[in-house]
Amino acid sequence: MSDRWFDHDNRILSEINVTPLVDVALVLLVVFMITAPMLIQGAEVNLPQTARMDVLPQDQLVIQITDTGQIRLNDDAVPFAERGERLSPRITPGRSVLVYADRDVQYGLVMNVIAVAHSLGASPGLVTEPIPER
């Protein structure tokens, strides 16, 4: 018999060689590191192109929330406590309302204004800036 399977006392060696296991694990790690970013990007979709609307219709209702928490309704300042009373005469059911909110405004304030507009029957929509292409 070969001497490589037995030690000097004629006992069988029962140690597992972990070198191939480590090699396979490192190869799998590299493969997953390369393929993971490809899975996140998703499929390419051809989105429709639209012209930018620079001018709002005159009767468009615009609510602005500044970074200081001030609420403005078509350039008129609205105290927070009076937001429902000031919005109710201007909003009719089904009317669209554009909400411009600064990115530094507390989430709760924005959601509160949207909830008031929605409870009056409006269809509020958040206005965002498009993400620039890289």
* The predicted structure's pLDDT at residue 16: 82
Is 61-126 CATH 3.30.420.270? yes
Angle at 117 between CA 114 and CA 121, to 5 degrees: 130
Label residue 29 by pLDDT band (50, 70, 90).
very high
Residue-level pLDDT at 23: 95
Task: Map out the domains of the chain as residue ranges.
Answer: 3-41, 61-126
Q: Which residue, 54, 51, 61, is CA-closest to 113?
A: 61
pLDDT score for 47: 55
The predicted-structure confidence for 80-112, as pLDDT tens digits, reads as follows 787 778 778 877 787 888 888 888 888 888 898
- Whole-angstrom Cα distance, residue 65 to residue 101? 5
Does 133 have pLDDT greater than 80? Answer: no
Beta carbons of 113 and 71 less than 8 angstroms apart: yes
